[in-house]
């Protein structure tokens, strides 16, 4: 029910666990402060996990989504997409940056695609800073 979902998300948030998985959906609550959960050690933990361990052995995290998409692209050879949605100021642009950071770290490419991904950030920022009904940028 909606009440139990809110209870779970709220109780996890109080323990600085800002990510919760609901089926195949990752729910994130913006902590409105810096948390030490995006370190290289954390990224490497998700990068070194086997695909089945991502959802069974590791806590929910944005790197789980990135790792699953990367595995699908590289191992299964299936095109991938990640949908990131939320209210204005909810952290969509930051989440996108984290996914791009993950992919750029694990891609192991000599073509420079990692830098191209990271350089797309100004374009993403432009979309993220667009004027909307709730955001008069």
Helix 92-106 to helix 62-74 angle (10° resolution) is 50
pLDDT of res. 92? 87
Q: What is the pLDDT of residues 38-47, one digit of tens each?
A: 999 999 999 9
* DSSP secondary structure of 34-66: --S--SHHHHHHHHTS-HHHHHHTS---HHHHH
Distance CA 85, CA 95 (A): 10
37-63: average pLDDT: 95
């Amino acid at each position: 029910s909606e009440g139990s979902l809110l209870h779970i998300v709220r109780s996890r948030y109080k323990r600085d666990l800002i990510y919760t998985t609901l089926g195949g959906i990752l729910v994130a609550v913006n902590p409105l402060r810096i948390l030490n959960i995006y370190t290289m050690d954390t990224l490497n933990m998700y990068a070194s996990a086997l695909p089945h361990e991502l959802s069974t052995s590791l806590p929910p995290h944005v790197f789980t989504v990135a790792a699953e998409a990367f595995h699908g692209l590289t191992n299964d050879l299936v095109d991938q997409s990640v949908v990131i949605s939320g209210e204005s100021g909810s952290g969509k642009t930051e989440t996108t940056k984290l996914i791009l950071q993950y992919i750029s770290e694990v891609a192991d490419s000599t073509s420079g695609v990692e830098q191209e991904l990271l350089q797309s950030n100004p374009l993403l920022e432009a979309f993220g800073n667009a004027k909307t009904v709730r955001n008069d940028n």
